Amino acid sequence: MYSSLNIDELNIQQYTDEEVEAFLNDYFAPMELPFIEEETRKNAAKDFRDVLLFILLAIVYSVETEAIDWDYMRNQMAVSFGQVVRKYARDDDFTRDFIEKAADEFIDVTRRHADEGGRWLSDERALPDAANYANMTVGYEELQQAIDDGFTKKMWISQRDGKVRHTHRIADGQTVPIKAMFKVGASLLMYPADPEGEPQEVISCRCHMKYL
């Protein structure tokens, strides 16, 4: 239905490749991840961004032609988003639930703000959301791999700078059994950016873990 859409022909703001690279470097570099892990998250973010931009493009087109079908958009989001999740993480109950919830939430927020346009239908929203989804997805897979590799504990590590939110500063150094939850603010999190947590503890989280 939307295979012929061209993002340049519609009123949707998009960053240049150089701006995308700069944003992702600023987002992931402070996490001080091993090179391969950082590159994996950057690549995942780019893939998620492609999905989000296409969905936003389809929504803009549908709104302009007065032919919007929000259920269809939600299903398209789940399919495309799920393909990226499964590229970077195993297919299990957690990732399947994550895909469904992410599609529901992204489309619901877009529907509520579609008439406002601006950042809600642009790369200004898509790119940060994509980076966040990358942390959620790759962080989960890395945790599962650590469990498979026999690690028994995990330690929460914040960025220890002025940008760290208060609850994450308190969590810094917290060590728990590898299958246990971290207590971060009012949330119980399996790992930084755990999508099961409260948004205020998850969105734009730059924390990471050390496995013991």
Name which of 15-19, 31-35, 105-109, 195-199 the model is least confident about: 31-35
Show the domain range for 52.
7-146
Burial class of residue 167 (count of CB atoms within 10 Å of its CB; 0-12, 13-18, 19+): middle
Q: DSSP assignment, residue 136? A: H
Q: Does residue 194 sit in the same domain as residue 135? A: no
In a domain, 1, yes or no: no
Q: Does residue 15 sit in the same domain as residue 84? A: yes
Q: Does residue 126 sit in the same domain as residue 54? A: yes
C-alpha dist (Å) from residue 32 to 8, 18, 39, 168, 211 = 35, 21, 12, 16, 15
Among candidate residues 163, 184, 181, the one with its CA nearest the CA of residue 172: 184
C-alpha dist (Å) from residue 90 to 83, 85, 106, 184, 207 = 11, 8, 22, 26, 22
Residue 198's pLDDT is 93
- The residue behind tokens 């929000």 is 70
Q: Which of 116, 146, 176 is the last residue of a domain?
A: 146
In a domain, 162, yes or no: yes
Residue 12's pLDDT is 63
Q: Does residue 29 sit in the same domain as residue 100? A: yes
Q: Does residue 20 sit in the same domain as residue 119? A: yes
Angle at 11 between CA 6 and CA 14, to 5 degrees: 75
> Would the pTM count as exceeding 0.85?
yes
Q: Does residue 141 sit in the same domain as residue 179? A: no
With cut-offs at 50, 70 and 90, classify the pLDDT of residue 31: confident
Q: Does residue 27 sit in the same domain as residue 44? A: yes
Q: What is the mean pLDDT of residues 172-183?
A: 97
In a domain, 2, yes or no: no
**Coil/strand/helix, residue 1:** coil
- The residue behind tokens 């892990």 is 37
Q: Does residue 113 sit in the same domain as residue 205? A: no
Q: Does residue 176 sit in the same domain as residue 78? A: no
Q: What is the mean pLDDT of residues 160-181?
A: 94
**Coil/strand/helix, residue 157:** strand
Q: Does residue 49 sit in the same domain as residue 65? A: yes
Name which of 74-78, 83-87, 132-136, 203-207 the model is least confident about: 203-207
- The residue behind tokens 């998620």 is 48
With cut-offs at 50, 70 and 90, classify the pLDDT of residue 5: very low
Total number of domains constituting the chain:
2
Q: Which of 93, 126, 146 is the last residue of a domain?
A: 146
Q: DSSP assignment, residue 210? A: E
Instruction: Give yes or no for a contact between 158 and 164, defined as CB atoms under 8 angstroms apart.
Output: yes
Q: Does residue 55 sit in the same domain as residue 17? A: yes
Q: Does residue 132 sit in the same domain as residue 200? A: no
Structural element, H or E, at residue 155: strand 153-157
Q: Which of 102, 124, 146 is the last residue of a domain?
A: 146
